[in-house]
């Protein structure tokens, strides 16, 4: 089978985590991934950039396997996260919109994709036939050797003449009993985000920590800088995906300090709940606004209960807190995850300077600290 050859090439290059969102033109390939690698099945491709970043930081060799349209969703994260921190990310993409395409909506973006990748200075190869699969190995090698995103665009032509049979997914009985009581009284918050961060820091111990972009990372740095802190400098919505990738790849406890706007903009919470990483805690600092961009309100200010949202996504361990004492108790009582701690705070930014570390300094000291606890394979 042509798909087996591609899987074998990925293994030969040391890939040990596949992050995927399927394509109709390569169904057999996607069905083989969970049999061959630990696999994270996404709801949105952009989240995979963060998952792969975290996995690499913690010692894994990840690859994404997607439909090429997903590269449009990923482009900012590829440049602001993978490129900024010089993190390798091989992307194997089923190339739509060019060869015998029957869906008009696939054509405009995908036909222009080689030019888009060139403009973004992202290395890529085009694989038109299955006997050219060695070019995928070259692309994976380029990604890790040059610490860059790199893309293999694989034409549907590669699967023509394949004698393999499509597999039918086994669909389990979907009946279920839902029993949820959710009653909370939330007082008007008094803590700011900085107050909450100061309450969190004494309980971090040796945890790997990922902090959200903008002011939250700066406030964490100036409260207590640690080698175990990975400061997000860009890449909106990617803090929890990065933390998830780390948690899947290390035995060390992993804590994400995220925000309401960021978590409402990602589709990663159901994916985390499905994989159940026991060492992951997400702390949502919910001030109801986009704090780093001028305090514009988010839907969580009065409409969305993010603790209930996390429970709806499948988190079984959740807690809502509003004081420093409650924060400490929640962190201590949720050492086995995945857990979600919803911290309700009021808007307000402190006057903190920028973090005086380069992206590569943040990357290197974090990797050197946590890779001793890496999960191999």
Q: Where are the domains of the chain?
A: 2-159, 193-373
Closest CA to 128 of 104, 99, 107: 99
pLDDT number for residue 196: 97
Task: Give the chain's residues under pLDDT 70.
Answer: 162-169, 376-377
SS3 of 315, please?
A: coil
Cis peptide before 338 (omega within 30 of 0): yes
Which structure tokens are listed for 34?
């969970």
pLDDT number for residue 165: 53
First to last CA, the chain: 24
Residues 97-156 pLDDT 10s: 999 999 999 999 999 999 999 999 999 999 999 889 999 999 999 999 999 999 999 999
CATH 1.10.730.10 fits 193-373, yes or no: no
pLDDT number for residue 30: 95
CB 82 within 8 A of CB 271: no
Q: Is it true that 2-159 and 193-373 share their CATH fold?
A: yes
**What is the model's pTM?**
0.95
Average pLDDT across the chain, whole number: 94
Altogether, the residues listed in the chain come to a count of 377
Residues 6 or more apart whose Cβ sits within 8 Å of residue 70 = 21, 45, 46, 93
CB 230 within 8 A of CB 256: no
The CATH number of 2-159 is 3.40.50.970
The whole-angstrom separation of Cα 371 and Cα 230 is 13
pLDDT number for residue 301: 87
**CA contacts within 13 A on the Cβ side of 67:** 20
pLDDT number for residue 270: 98
pLDDT number for residue 163: 56
Conformation bin of residue 227: beta by default, left when phi > 0, alpha when psi is -120 to 50:
alpha
């Amino acid at each position: 089978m042509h798909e087996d050859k591609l899987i074998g090439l990925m293994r030969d290059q040391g890939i040990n985590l596949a992050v995927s969102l399927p394509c109709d033109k390569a169904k057999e390939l996607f069905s083989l991934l969970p049999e061959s690698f630990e696999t994270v099945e996404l709801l949105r491709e952009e989240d995979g950039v963060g998952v792969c970043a975290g996995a690499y930081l913690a010692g894994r060799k990840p690859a994404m396997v997607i439909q090429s349209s997903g590269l449009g969703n990923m482009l900012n994260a590829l440049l602001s996260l993978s490129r900024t921190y010089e993190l390798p990310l091989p992307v194997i993409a089923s190339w739509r919109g060019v060869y015998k395409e029957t869906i008009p909506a696939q054509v405009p973006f995908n036909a222009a994709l080689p030019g888009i990748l060139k403009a973004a200075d992202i290395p890529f190869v085009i694989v038109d036939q299955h006997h050219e699969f060695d070019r995928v190995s070259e692309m994976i090698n380029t990604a890790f050797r040059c610490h860059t995103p790199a893309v293999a665009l694989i034409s549907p032509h590669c699967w023509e003449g394949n004698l393999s049979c499509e597999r039918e997914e086994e669909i389990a009985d979907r009946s279920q009993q839902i029993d949820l009581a959710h009653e909370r009284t939330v007082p008007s918050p008094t803590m700011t985000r900085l107050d909450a961060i100061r309450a969190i820091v004494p309980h971090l111990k040796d945890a790997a920590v990922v902090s959200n972009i903008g002011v939250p990372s700066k406030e964490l740095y100036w409260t207590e800088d640690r080698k175990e802190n990975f400061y997000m400098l860009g890449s909106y919505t990617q803090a929890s995906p990065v933390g998830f990738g780390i948690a899947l790849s290390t035995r060390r406890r992993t804590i994400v300090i995220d925000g309401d706007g960021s978590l409402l903009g990602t589709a990663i919470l159901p994916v985390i709940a499905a994989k159940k990483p026991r060492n992951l805690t997400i702390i949502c600092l919910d001030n109801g606004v986009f704090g780093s961009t001028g305090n514009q309100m988010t839907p969580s200010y009065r409409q969305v209960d993010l603790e209930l949202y996390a429970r709806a996504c499948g988190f079984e361990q959740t807690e809502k807190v509003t004081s420093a004492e409650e924060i400490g108790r929640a962190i201590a009582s949720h050492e086995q995850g995945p857990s979600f701690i919803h911290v309700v705070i009021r808007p307000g930014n402190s006057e903190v300077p920028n973090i005086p570390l380069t992206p590569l300094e943040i990357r290197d000291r974090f990797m050197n600290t946590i890779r001793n606890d890496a999960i191999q394979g």
